[in-house]
């Protein structure tokens, strides 16, 4: 039996053009929740100011703290608003005003350095959940944790070639090297804003403490005072020598 094959011209349908969903715009940047303690708040501001002092004159970085970081629409839907306690993003426009760090508004850039200031209630999250997030989703190259009430709690990691964090080895002072910033991260005992504690601070490559603005001013005032005291001492020594020569320092003859 012969079979007649009838060719049918398929109806052409124009495929629908894929249009990605626009990123959310109704982002929350303040949840009204306070930090763990006043010491946590102070130490965050100390780290931010220290980077600004170390990078004075540069505008190719952004240093922030206690601000929301958005990286996916699912995160927004889950209302997972909290961001790192302190972070630095390099090679970005540091002059642009930001209420938070929104990855899709930063050309996909994530922080290069993150510090979490732990407390007993957040330690497990910082050491497990957030470490995994920063390692596998953010690919943040340097991650550090520190409890401002425990001077022995500093830990840090560097992202290895395999995309996994490798432990950083402290130097003989217990400091950890942050190669992305070119700075040491270590502890410092002293009083800041009338609170005495062991603070997390930055040190330069030579081991010098990166001073805060108030410390710069205090050091400058002390140097000026020292110069004034040396000048007064030199002047008194000159007067003593003149008197030893039988000359009155206050009534010297005019020089020709």
248 — pLDDT class (breaks 50, 70, 90): confident
- The pLDDT tens digits for 199-237 are 999 999 999 999 998 887 877 766 767 776 787 888 888
Q: Are 68 and 28 in contact (CB under 8 A)?
A: yes
Q: Does domain 38-210 have CATH number 3.90.1570?
A: yes
11 — pLDDT class (breaks 50, 70, 90): very low
pTM metric for this prediction: 0.77
- The pLDDT tens digits for 77-131 are 677 766 899 999 999 999 999 999 999 999 999 999 999 999 999 999 999 999 9
Domain boundaries, the chain: 38-210, 212-245
φ and ψ of 57, to 5 deg: 95, -5
- For tokens 């992202």, name the residue: 159
Of 66, 195, 124, 186, which Cα lies nearest the Cα of 132? 124
């Amino acid at each position: 039996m012969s079979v007649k094959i009838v060719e049918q011209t398929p109806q052409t349908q124009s495929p629908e053009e894929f249009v990605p969903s626009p990123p959310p715009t109704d982002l929350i940047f303040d949840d009204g929740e306070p930090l763990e303690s006043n010491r946590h708040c102070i130490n965050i501001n100390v780290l931010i100011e220290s980077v600004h002092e170390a990078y004075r004159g540069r505008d190719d970085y952004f240093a922030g703290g206690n601000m929301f970081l958005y990286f996916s629409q699912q995160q927004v839907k889950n209302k997972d608003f909290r961001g790192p306690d302190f972070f630095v993003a390099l090679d970005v426009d540091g002059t642009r005003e930001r209420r938070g760090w929104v990855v899709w508004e930063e050309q996909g850039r994530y922080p290069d350095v993150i510090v979490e200031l732990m407390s007993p209630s957040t330690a497990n999250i910082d050491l497990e959940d957030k470490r995994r997030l920063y390692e596998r989703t953010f690919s943040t190259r340097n991650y550090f944790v520190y409890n401002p009430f425990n001077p022995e709690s500093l830990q840090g990691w560097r992202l290895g070639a395999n995309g996994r964090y490798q432990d950083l080895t402290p130097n003989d002072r217990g400091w950890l090297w942050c190669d992305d910033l070119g700075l040491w991260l270590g502890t410092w005992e002293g009083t800041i804003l009338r609170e005495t504690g062991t603070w997390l601070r930055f040190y330069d490559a030579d081991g010098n403490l990166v001073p805060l603005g108030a410390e710069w001013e205090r050091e400058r005032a002390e140097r000026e005072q020292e110069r004034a005291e040396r000048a007064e001492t030199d002047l008194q020594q000159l007067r003593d020598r003149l008197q030893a020569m039988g000359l009155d320092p206050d009534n010297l003859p005019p020089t020709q």
